[in-house]
Every structure is written in structure tokens, then in C-alpha cells.
Amino acid sequence: NAGVTQTPKFRVLKTGQSMTLLCAQDMNHEYMYWYRQDPGMGLRLIHYSVGEGTTAKGEVPDGYNVSRLKKQNFLLGLESAAPSQTSVYFCASSTGSSGANVLTFGAGSRLTVL
Amino acid sequence: GQNIDQPTEMTATEGAIVQINCTYQTSGFNGLFWYQQHAGEAPTFLSYNVLDGLEEKGRFSSFLSRSKGYSYLLLKELQMKDSASYLCAVKDSNYQLIWGAGTKLIIKP
């Protein structure tokens, strides 16, 4: 059981370039999330999805776009990368949002923007 | 605003006991989570508290006091593999998770 898989694991971009991070889960989870993790800060929610075909903004959505065309996949796009987007990005999934629903995280994608 | 506070770093000795505190101020409360994150890896779930009191799971226990906005994670019989960051997170009234910055725990032999 793979759980949550993120690709790529590492990427270096130049300012202004675009890229897409792919997240895939095989647990049939309805909810999927994209977080960024920066030193000295808690995980911050970028965008999330409560089901196939739906997306919603989180705490720090500016500069990012997402799509959830298939239930198992959640894509995070950067249209014009900026150095402030240098971070470790984590995808997560869960069965729902209420109660003790636990997040299952991917291994992370480390992005550096020069 | 919403805020989760936990110590930045703690050091403990192998075989000892350590308590990691978390205080929170959030818009509503729908549960508190502790996750463990080894360096360079994904966070993994440790515990969940929604009612006041102590939840025990093997060497790990988690305590919650909703009236004080306070939780702690207690780790007993520390092992070197417990060296990691411990993340406290609270679900607010909208069922969104608010995360603390994490406590880096260093275990010394």
C-alpha cells in the first residue's frame, strides 16, 4: 500500500519558471491538502479539496493553483515561481475533516527557487 | 488571531521521561493532534484528544485541558529513535487544522 506519493521529491527552479507538483493517493480518501513547511513556522495550508472536481483556498493560496480532476490525484501548480516559494511542500489526505480524521502525508517535495 | 505555542527545542537523555507542552488560542475547538516528524520525512500521527484528560498509547501519552487551552505529550523510556520534531495541531470551529511550529527533541546517550 503506497499511501500518498508525491513527485518530484526535489526541484530547482529559476524565478519566473512554472512547474507542477503531483500528489497521488491510493486510500480512496475524499479530502486532499497541500501544505508548505518553512523553518520556524507551522505547516500552512495552501489549497485543499473535499472531493473530485472541487478545490478551495487555504491560508496561503496566492501564487498557487490546484486541480483535482480525479479523486486520487491532487496537483499543485506554480505559474511564475518566486524565491518566497522556496519551501518543502507536503501533500496529505484524509477520509474527512471532522472528528479524529487523521492526515496521511506524502514524503514531501523540496523546491528551491533561485 | 489563532495561535499555537510550543517550545522550539528540548534535550533529554536516553531512558528518561520528557514532557512537551502546547498551548493554544483558537476560534473554537474540535480536537488536538500530536504528530511526529523525523528530519527530512513526513509527519506521522501520534495521538488525538478531544475530551479533557490523559490518553495513553504505549510509551507515549497525551493530556488535554480545554479550559486552560493546554496539552502536553509525555514520552517515557526515551530511545534514540525518538529524536524528532513533535507537532501540535488544533482543529478550529471550521474543522481547519492550525499547526504549531513544532518542538525539536534531541535525545542524548
Q: Tell me what pLDDT residue A1 has.
A: 65
Yes or no, beta carbons of A102 and B33 under 8 Å apart? yes
Q: Which of B91, B99, B103, B104 to mutate to test the interface with A (most CBs of A within 10 A)?
A: B99
What does the pLDDT read at residue A100? 81
What integer pLDDT is reported at residue B1 of this predicted model?
76
CA–CA separation, A74 and A71 (whole Å): 8
Q: What pLDDT is stored for residue A108 in this prediction? A: 97
* Residue among A98, A100, A108 whose CB faces B42 most closely: A108
pLDDT at A2 exceeding the cut of 90: no
- The stretch A48-73 carries a mean pLDDT of 96
SS3 content of chain A, % helix, strand, coil (to 5): 5, 50, 50
Alpha-carbon Rg of chain A, whole angstroms? 13
Of the candidates A44, A98, A106, the beta carbon closest to that of B95 is on A98
Q: How far, CA to CA in Å, does B81 sit from each of A82, A84, B1, B15, B36?
A: 36, 33, 35, 12, 11
Calpha distance A21→A78 (Å, rounded) = 9
- pLDDT tens sequence for chain B (109 residues): 789 999 999 999 999 999 999 999 999 999 999 999 999 999 999 999 999 999 999 999 999 999 999 999 999 999 999 999 999 999 999 889 999 999 999 999 9
**A103 to chain B: closest CA residue:** B45
